[in-house]
Structure 1
Amino acid sequence: MNKVTLIATATMGLEAIVAREVKDLGYNDVKVENGRVEFTADVSAIPRANLWLRTADRVKIKVGEFKAYTFDELFEKTKALPWADLIPVDAEFPVIGKSVKSTLFSVSDCQAIVKKAVVESMKLKHKLDWFDEDGAFYRIEVALLKDVATLTIDTSGTGLHKRGYRYHHNEAPLKETLAAAMIMLTNWKPDRPFADPFCGSGTLPIEAAMIGQNIAPGFNREFASEDWHWIGEDKWNEARQEVEDLANYDQPLDILGADIDHRSVELAQNNAMEAGFDELIQFKQMQVKDFRHKGQYGVLIGNPPYGERLGERPEVEEMYRDMGEAFKLLDTWSIYMLTSHEQFETFYGKKASKKRKLYNGNIKTDYYQFFGPRPPRKD
C-alpha cells in the first residue's frame, strides 16, 4: 500500500490550525471541513502525523464514503470496501458509530450492520468462516452525517491530547490540544518570555515548553497503529528518529506558571517533572492582581475562571478588573485570555485587538487577543 487518505479530526474552530500543521509536515493535498482535515499521503504519514500533530484529536484512515438511506445500502456498500487490504486475519476490529441528521439514526443497528459487512468482506478474501480477533487493534467507525456514511479506522488509539505527561490534573483541566492551539494562535517565539497566571495543572506552560524546544507531542506515548504489519516497524522507527533529530533541547526558555491555589502549583510542578521540564519552567503561587514579570515583549496566555455559575460571577468579574490593572504594567507584552464571559472586555477595561471563537469542551468561549508592540529587531 503506497497512498492512504487520512482524516485528522479537530475540535470546532481549530480546523485551520490543524491544516497548517499538516502542511508544515509536507502534505499539501489538504481539504478542510467542519471538525476534520483530510489529506492524502504515503503510509509514513501515519506515524508522522500521530507523533507531530499538536492540535488534532485523532488520525484516522478513510476507508470509504457513500450515501446510505437504508440498512441494505449501508451493508452492501460497506462490504464492497477493501477491508482485507487493511485488516489482517487475526485483528481485533470493534465498530463504533455516530449518526447526525440521517435517516439511519439507530447507532447500535448501524454498528452491527457494519461489523457484519466487514466480516463478510473478509470471509471472501481470507476464505475463512471465523475470526478469533486476538491480534492487533483496528477500531472501525461508521459516522453518518446527513445520510453520508464515512467509514474510518482509528490509527491513534488513545486521543492525541493524551501526551503521557499529565498524570495529575485539577477539576477542569484545559485539554492539551486546545492549549497548544492557544499558543500557536499567538506571536510567541521561544526567545521571548511566556507566562500563564492561571496555570492549573500546568498544561499551557508545558505545551509552550514542548513547542519552544520543537519536541513532538507524541514522543512519550504509544499508538494503536504501531502494531500494524503493513505500516512496518521501520517507518515507526524512522518517524521517531526524526522526532529526536528535530528536537532542540538546548533552546533556553523563560516560562512562568502561576496560580492562586498551592495545590495546583504542586500539580503543575509534578506534571512538568513528568514531561522533563521541571528545570525549564518556573511555578509560583500568587494572585493575578499581584502578577509581575521583569521580562519585556513577552506573551501572557490565560484560561481564567469563567463565572459559569451565577453565584461566582461577582467574584470573577472583580478578578477581571484586578487583572486589567495588573497587566497595565506589562506594557510591552501581548495578552491572550480565554473565557465564556461575554462582558470580559468591560471588566478588564480594554477592548481586544481581535477575538476568536473557540470551544473549551462543550463551552463556547472567546479568545481575547490584546496585541503588544513588536520587539525591536536584533542585529
Structure 2
Amino acid sequence: MNNYFASCPRGLEPLLADDIAALGGQHVKAVGGGVMFAGDWPVCYAVNLHSRLATRVLWRVAARGYATADDIYKLALDTDWTAFFLPTQTLRVDVTAIKSPLKSLDFVTLRVKDGICDRFRRDCGDVRPSIDTRQPDVRVQAFLTEDNCTLYVDTSGDPLWQRGLRQKTVEAPLKENLAAGILRLAGWQPGTPLFDPMCGSGTFLLEAAQIAHGIAPGSRRSFAFERLKGFDAETWRRMREAALAAEKPVAWAQLFGADVSAQAVRAATANLDRAGLLEAVELIQSDILEVAAPADGGILVCNPPYGVRLEEQESLAAFYPQLATALKKNFAGWTCHFFTADLRMPKLMRLTPSRKTPLYNGALECRLFEIRMVAGSNRPAK
C-alpha cells in the first residue's frame, strides 16, 4: 500500500476527503491544502480519473528530518529512484516549503536533482535522467516543513484541473477544480436549473455539463502514472473504459449562461462545442442588470469581477446596489451564489447572505456568499 497527498484549492479539503474515501482511499485525513490518504495503485488511478476537486496526486516515497541542504541531498541519494522510473526518462524537480530555515529553495532544488542523478549514476552505470522543466516524463516534488523533508513522485502530470476541454479563455478564468467545488458548495444537482450570468469562457457551465452527463474529469487526458515503473496498463484500461461507458448521451440539461461580452459568449460557445456539450447549454449575450431569469427558480452562480485598483473598487461600489435591485426584480425564488475576493459585496448590496464560505483562489482569500432571493428587501426588519 502506498501513501499519497492530493492537493486542492484551500477550503475544499473536507469535500475532497469525502470523495477520496468514496473511491477506496484509506486513512483519509484532510489537512491544509489537501488530503493525505493510503491505497494501492488502483485507488491512485481512480482519484486521478474521477476527482473533480484535486489539483495533483503525489506519491510519498521518502521522508526524513533535516537541518541543512546536504541532509536533503542525502535523503534523495538514499532513495531508490530506479524502483520508480528509468534513467532514460526526463525529470523535473520542484520544492515548496512552509517555515523552512533554509534561505534558497533554488539551491535545495539543485541538491535534490543532484541526489537523484547521483543515485542513478551509482545504480545504472553512469546513466542519469536529463532535466526537462516543460514536459518532463517524471516530476519529483520536495516539501519542507520547519525540520522535515518529504519527497513525492507526481502521479498526475499536468494539473488535474486541466480536463483537456477548455481552449479559449477570457481574463482571469477560474480553474476547473475550484469551479467544481463551488458548484458542490452551492448544492447544485443535475436537473436543477443553473444560471451563470457572467459566464466568461464557461467554466461553471462546462463542469456542470460534465457532471450532468456522468463524464469523469480525467477520462480525456493522460497521466504521469502511465510513465512510472509498475504501471498496471490493464487495470487502467478497464477503469477508463468503465468511466467512458458510464457517460450519458448529451442532451439539454437546464444549464444557462450569459455575459455582457460577445467575446466571452463566443469563447464559452467554442469551449462547450469542442467538449461536445453545447447541446446541454443555452447561451446568450446580455447584461446581468437586464437579463431575465431563465426559469422560475434554480441556482445562480457567478464569479463577478473584484477590483484591485481604487477606481475599480469605486465603480464596483456603485454597481453592487444596482445588482441587488436587478436580482430582487428578476430572480425572486432563486438562490444566488457569488464567489468573490471583494468581502464588501453583501454589505454594499444591502443583502444579508445566508451562508459565507471561506475559499481561496490561489493565494487570494475569497468568499462564496449565498443569498436567497425574495421579492423586496432581503434584510431582516430592525
TM-score where L is the length of structure 1: 0.91
- Whole-angstrom CA distance in 2 between matches of 1:267 and 1:192: 24
Question: Identity, % of aligned pairs?
Answer: 29
Say which is worse superposed, 199-208 or 291-300, in terms of deviation. Answer: 291-300
Please tell me the residue identity of whatever aligns with 1:302.
C
* Secondary structure at the counterpart of residue 90 of structure 2: coil
Query: Structure 1 stretches (4+) deviating beyond 4 angstroms?
Result: 132-136
Of 20, 41, 53, 2:39 maps to 41
Partner of 1:81: 79
- Whole-angstrom CA distance in 1 between matches of 2:208 and 2:234: 30
Please tell me the residue identity of whatever aligns with 1:300.
L
- Whole-angstrom CA distance in 2 between matches of 1:105 and 1:165: 40
Q: After the TM superposition, which residues 191-210 of structure 1 pair with which residues of structure 2 at under 5 Å, given as runs?
A: 191-210=191-210
- Whole-angstrom CA distance in 2 between matches of 1:336 and 1:71: 47
- Whole-angstrom CA distance in 2 between matches of 1:104 and 1:162: 32
- Whole-angstrom CA distance in 2 between matches of 1:159 and 1:181: 16
Change (3 A) 1:372 1:42: farther
Cα deviation for residue 115 of structure 1 reads 2.1
Partner of 1:353: 354
> Are the equivalent residues in 1 in contact too, given 2:161–2:175 (CA < 8 A)?
yes
Does structure 1 residue 306 correspond to structure 2 residue 306? yes
Unaligned runs of 5+ in 2: 375-382
> Are the equivalent residues in 1 in contact too, given 2:251–2:280 (CA < 8 A)?
no
> Are the equivalent residues in 2 in contact too, given 1:104–1:147 (CA < 8 A)?
no
Across the aligned residues of Structure 1 and Structure 2, the Cα RMSD in angstroms comes to 2.2
> Are the equivalent residues in 2 in contact too, given 1:93–1:139 (CA < 8 A)?
yes
Partner of 1:341: 342
TM-score where L is the length of structure 2: 0.90
Partner of 2:23: 25
Cα deviation for residue 134 of structure 1 reads 9.8
Partner of 2:219: 219
Cα deviation for residue 10 of structure 1 reads 1.5
Of 5, 8, 14, 2:12 maps to 14
Say which is worse superposed, 109-118 or 161-170, in terms of deviation. Answer: 109-118
Partner of 1:119: 117
Say which is worse superposed, 82-91 or 212-221, in terms of deviation. Answer: 82-91
Q: After the TM superposition, which residues 10-159 of structure 1 pair with which residues of structure 2 at under 5 Å, given as runs?
A: 10-124=8-122, 126-131=123-128, 133=130, 137-159=137-159
Unaligned runs of 5+ in 1: 374-379
- Whole-angstrom CA distance in 1 between matches of 2:65 and 2:307: 44
Partner of 2:371: 370
- Whole-angstrom CA distance in 1 between matches of 2:129 and 2:355: 56
> Are the equivalent residues in 1 in contact too, given 2:72–2:111 (CA < 8 A)?
yes
Deviations 1:199-256 (A, max 9, x none): 0011111111112222111122222222234113212212211211332336651001
- Whole-angstrom CA distance in 2 between matches of 1:319 and 1:23: 43
* Secondary structure at the counterpart of residue 129 of structure 1: coil
Say which is worse superposed, 99-108 or 335-344, in terms of deviation. Answer: 99-108
* Secondary structure at the counterpart of residue 3 of structure 2: strand
> Are the equivalent residues in 2 in contact too, given 1:288–1:322 (CA < 8 A)?
no
Please tell me the residue identity of whatever aligns with 1:145.
T
Please tell me the residue identity of whatever aligns with 1:66.
R
* Secondary structure at the counterpart of residue 216 of structure 2: coil
